[in-house]
Structure 1
Amino acid sequence: MSARLQPEPATPAPVIACTISRDVQHFELLIEDMEAALGERWGDLGFADALAFLEQPEADSLRFVAIALDSEDEADLGLVIDVIRAAKAKGIKVILITEDVTPASLHQLLREGGDEFVPYPLPEGELARAIERMTAPPPPEIPAQMRNTLKATGDRSGVVIPVYAMAGGTGATTLAVNLAWELAILDQEVAPRVCLIDLGLQTGSVATYLDLPRREAVLELLSDTEAMDSDTFMQALLSFNQKLHVLTAPLDLVPLDLIGPPDVERLIETARTNFDYVVIDMPPAMADWGETVLNAAHLCFATLELDMRSAQNTLRFKRTLQSEGLPLQKFRFVLNRAPGFADLTAGGVSGGWRIRSASRSRCSCPMAGAR
C-alpha cells in the first residue's frame, strides 16, 4: 500500500515593504494603495517596533518603508529620524507620507535620508509612481561631454541676473537660456564663467531646452545647503558644450518651500564666488525666498507680451514690489513677439504701463542658436 504524497505548503512570499506610523488606520488611503501595489507583500509597524525590527535579519528582504506622519508626530521627530537612519543603514529606501507637516520638519526628514515625498491624502497613482522610481534601475552615467570639469575657485564676485515671466509662454526660460549662452561666448579668448540656475523647482524646463538630464544630486544639494561648499555645488552642475554650467531643476516635483531664504542666499552666494555671471530662471509663483533673489540681483529681466494678461500681471507685480519696498528699479521689461508695424517704441510701452522697458523681440529666439 503506497503512501499518498501530500503537497508541501506554499512558501509565503517575503515581505518587501512596510508602513511605519503612529496609527496606520489614520492613513486609510495609504493602506489601499499599498495593497493595490504590493498585494500581501507588505506589513505595518509602529515607530518603536520598527526600530527593533530593522535590527533583525527578517528586515533584509525589505526594499522600502513608507513612513506616514502628521502634525502630531512632529513633537517626537527624533524618533522618526532614528527610524530613517536605521532604514538607510540597511540600504532600505524611504518614502515620506506627510499630512500637515511643517516645511521645516519635512526639510529635515528629507535631509536625514528620505528618498521620496508624497503628500497625504495621496494623489491618485502617486504612491505607485514613487515605488516605481525607487525600484527602477540606476540611471545611466552622465556622458563625458555633460560632466562639469570646471573647478571651484571662490575668487569671483559674479553678476546675478534673474529672469521672470509676467505671464505663461512669454519666453522667460528662452531668454534666460539664450542670455546665459551669449554671455558664455562673449569673449572667445578669455571666456567668462557663466552659471545658469533653474529655480523652477516644480516645472523648470532649462534641462529640456538644453537636452540635459535631471539628477538626484540637485535635490540632495537643495535639501542640505548648510553642508554645501563650493566643491559640492560644482559637482551638482552639468556642462553645456563645456562653456555654460547649469544647475537644473530637481528630478522630481518638490514643494517650493523645500528651500527657504537662507538656502537661496547660500546657493546664490556660492555661485557668485565661482562664476562671473549667474543667470537665474525664476518660477512663475512668488515664493517666500523671492525677496532674497531680488536683493542679491544686480539686474532683473521680466518678459511680457502685448496682451491684457501681461499688462494686468505687470501692474500687479509693480504694485507688490512698491508696497513691499522691493527694488523695482532693477527691472527691465522685455516685450516678446512684438509686431514690427505697430508704434511700440520703448518710450510708448514704458509710458503706457509706467515701467522701464529694455527691449522688444519680434519672436522667440530659437534654441538652435545656443547650440
Structure 2
Amino acid sequence: MTHDPVVDRLGLAERHLSPAARRALDELATVLDERIRPLLADAWEHATMPSAVLGELVPLGLMEPDGVSAEEADSTMFSGFRNYALARCDASVATMYNAQSGLFRAIVRHGGSAEQAAQWDPLIRRFEMTGVFALTEPDHGSDIAGGLATTATREGDTWILDGEKKWIGGADGADVLAVFARDTADGQVKTFLVDREADGVSLDRIDGKVSLRIMQNFRIRLSGVRVTEDRRLQGISSWRDVAAVLRVMRSDVAWIAAGIQAGALDAAIRYTADREQFGRPIGGFQLVQEKLARMLGNATSSLTLAVELSAQQDAGHWSDENSALAKMVTAQTARETVALAREVLGGNGLLLEHGAGRFFADAEAVYSYEGTHEINALIVGRSLTGESAFV
C-alpha cells in the first residue's frame, strides 16, 4: 500500500493526510500493482508507453478524488504522496502523469489569469485538456533563463513563434504545448498554449535513451506558428514569473525521487526473500541486510524531507532554496539507493523481470531533470552566502 510501514515507518501519510485521501492513494496503489506493473518490463524493452497506463489512471480522478476536499486535493502534500506512489511503481509512469498534473497544470494555474485558470483548470483535472511544459531547448538547459532562444513576435492580436524545444515528455499525446518564448519587442519571456497540430509545429521522437525509456520525449520545431493573444498566459511576463512556477514544481521531483527509492527497496526485499545461495535465503546474510538498512534510511530521510517541504508550502511558505535543496538531496540520494538495490540482486539486477534495473536507470533522469544537481546547489549556495555564483 502507498503508506505501508516498510517505507513509511514514521507514519507520515497517516499524520498528514485525511482517511479519504489515503483511501484514494490505496486505490491508486492497487491499480498500479495489479494492472500497470505487469506491463512495465515489455514497455521498457520496446520503449513505448502503453495506452492502458492512462486508461487505468484517468478514471481514478486523482486530481479531484471522491470524498477529498478541494483544498486537500490541491495541496502539495496530497499531490506529493500521489507522485510518490506513482514513482514507487515506475518513474516513467510518474513523470508522464506529473507532466499533466504538475507541470502543465501548474503553469496554467499559476501563470494564467484568474479567468484562464477558471476556464482551463477543470478540463486539465479531468484530462479533457491535456498539455505539456515546453521550456528546455536543444542548446539551452541550465542556462535557459538567459539563453532561451525561441522567439515570439506580436502582430496585432496574434503572436508568431519560431524556435525549437527538446526533451518534451509526452508531447505526442498532448492537445496543447505550453511554449516559452522570448518576446522580440521587450526581450522578456512569455508563455503560449500552442495547439499540437497547429501549422508550423513538428515533433520528432528522441530515440536511443537509456533512462525513462517508457516515457517518450520529443524535439519540437516551431516555424511561423501563429497563436492568438487569448492563448498567451497572462500571468507570465518575465523570467521571474517563470521561476516562481518552477519553485512550485521542484517539490514534485523530490517526491518522485523518494518514490523510486521506495520502489527499488520493494524490489530488493522481494528478491532477498526468494533468492537462495549457500543453502539459505540471501535476506539472512549480514552484508545484504546492511545494504537494505542503508536503502531504508535513504528512502525514509528523502520522504521526510519531501513531506516537510510540502508542509511548509501548504502553510504558505515558499522559497527557491528549500525547493532546490529538496530536489538536490533526494535525487542524489536516489542514485545511491537504486545502486544498492542493483547490488543486492547481483547480476539479476540487470534483468527487467526483477524490477530493480528500471529504477537503477531511471534515477539518472530524475537526477538531471527539473534543475541539475549543480544548478540547485548554486540556488542553495546563494541563499547561504548572499552571493550569486551563476555566470
Scaled to the shorter chain, the TM-score interval is under 0.3
Q: Which has the higher helix share?
A: 2
Q: TM-score, normalised by structure 2?
A: 0.27
